[in-house]
Structure 1
Amino acid sequence: MINYTKIAVGTDGSDSSLEAVRAAASLARVYDAELIIMSAWYAASGSLLNAPHSDVSSVPIVEEDVAEEHLRTAQGVAEEEGATRVELRKIAGAPAAALTKEVADLGVDLLVVGNKGVNTLTGRVFGNIPTEVVRNSTVNVMIVNTAQDRI
């Protein structure tokens, strides 16, 4: 029988990531697990592969105080879902790499992420966080379908 004791979820403040937080919090409630909500912050941007279009060529900058805001919002969502043991963690670095490293360091059993970017052309060409997390994670990963029009 699978029994999760530590569940982690990443958030960037997007609606998609908050749906992932909601799912992770529900699982934490069901398994009576600790929920670790993480938000990556990084202070670097630049062109990806010298792409000519700036909208797909820059890595956004997420400041530490913005990550803190994302965590507070996500904590509210988690508490609405009944998660009782919630830890908030700001982690420095690019989101996918930072999440997988932190999860390994903390002994997490399950990592939950939203599917933002998985079904986009940009995500397929330049990569996306859920795919990178699955590719590099040493623990089980749950990808939450966060599409508003899902059936």
Structure 2
Amino acid sequence: MINYSTIAVGTDGSESSLAAVRAAASLARVYDAELIIMAAWYATSGSLLNAPHTDVSSLPIVEEEVAEEHLRTAQVVAEEEGAPRITARKIAGAPATALTKAVEELGVDLLVVGNKGVNTLTGRVFGNIPTEVVRNSTVNVMIVNTAQHRI
């Protein structure tokens, strides 16, 4: 029988990422698991893969204070879903790399992410967070279909 004792979810403050938080919180409630909500912050920006069109291929700056705000919002959502134990963590670095590294360090059993960027041309050409997480994760990854939550 599969049993998850620690579930992690990433958020960037978007409505689609909050849908992933809701799904992860519901699973945490069902499994009576700890929920770790993570928000990446990073102070570098620039073109991905030295792409010529930086308007569609750049990694924006996310300040540490903004990550804290995303975590507060996500924690409220997780509490509404009934997650029994919630921990909020800021993680430094590019989102996909920071998430997979934190999962290993924290002993997470399941990582939940939204599917934002998976079905876009930009995401297919330059990469996207869910795909990179799946490629590099050492634990099970659940990708939540967040299409109805996109702005």
Aligned runs of 1:75-114 on 2, under 5 Å?
Answer: 75-114=75-114
Indicate the residue corresponding to 1:32 in structure 2: 32
Q: Structure 1 unaligned segments of length 5 or more: list them.
A: none
Aligned to 1:16: 16
Give the Cα separation in 2 of the matches to 1:57 and 1:29. 37
Measured against aligned partners, the alpha-carbon deviations of 1:4-48 in whole angstroms (never above 9, x if no partner) come to 000000000011110000000000000000000000000000122
Task: Provide the aligned length of Structure 1 versus Structure 2.
Answer: 149
Quote the residue 2:41 is aligned against. 41
Q: Which runs of 4+ in 1 moved over 6 A?
A: none
Separation in structure 2 between the aligned mates of residue 37 and residue 49 of structure 1, nearest angstrom: 29
Alpha carbons 2:9, 2:20 under 8 Å: kept: yes
The aligned residue for residue 121 of structure 2 is 121
Further displaced range: 51-60 or 96-105: 51-60
Q: Which amino acid aligns with 1:90?
A: K
Letter in 2 for 1:23: A
Supply the distance in 2 between the matched residues of 1:100 and 1:49 (Cα, whole angstroms): 20
- The alignment partner of 1:148 has SS state of helix
Distance in 2 between residues matched to 1:7 and 1:50, nearest whole Å: 35
Stretch deviating more after TM superposition (67-76 or 44-53): 44-53
Q: Which residue of 1 aligns with 2:67?
A: 67
Taking structure 1 as the reference length, the TM-score comes to 0.96
Deviation at 1:56, TM superposition (A): 1.1
Over residues 40-96 of structure 1, what are the superposed CA-to-partner deviations in whole Å (9 max), with x where a residue is unaligned?
A: 000000122343333213210000000000000000000010012000000000000
Q: Percent identity?
A: 87
Tell me the TM-score normalised to structure 2 length.
0.96
Structure 2 partner of 1:144: 144
- What is the CA distance between 1:118 and its match in structure 2? 0.2
Q: Distance in 2 between matches of 1:74 and 1:45?
A: 25
Q: Cα deviation per residue 1:90-120 (whole Å; 9 max; x = unaligned)?
A: 0000000000000001100000000000000
Output the aligned Cα RMSD. Answer: 1.1
In structure 2, list runs of 5 or more residues that go unmatched: none
Secondary structure, aligned partner of 2:44: coil
In 2, Cα distance between equivalents of 1:52 and 1:136: 26
In the alignment, residue 114 of structure 1 is paired with which amino acid? G
- Partner amino acid for 1:132? E
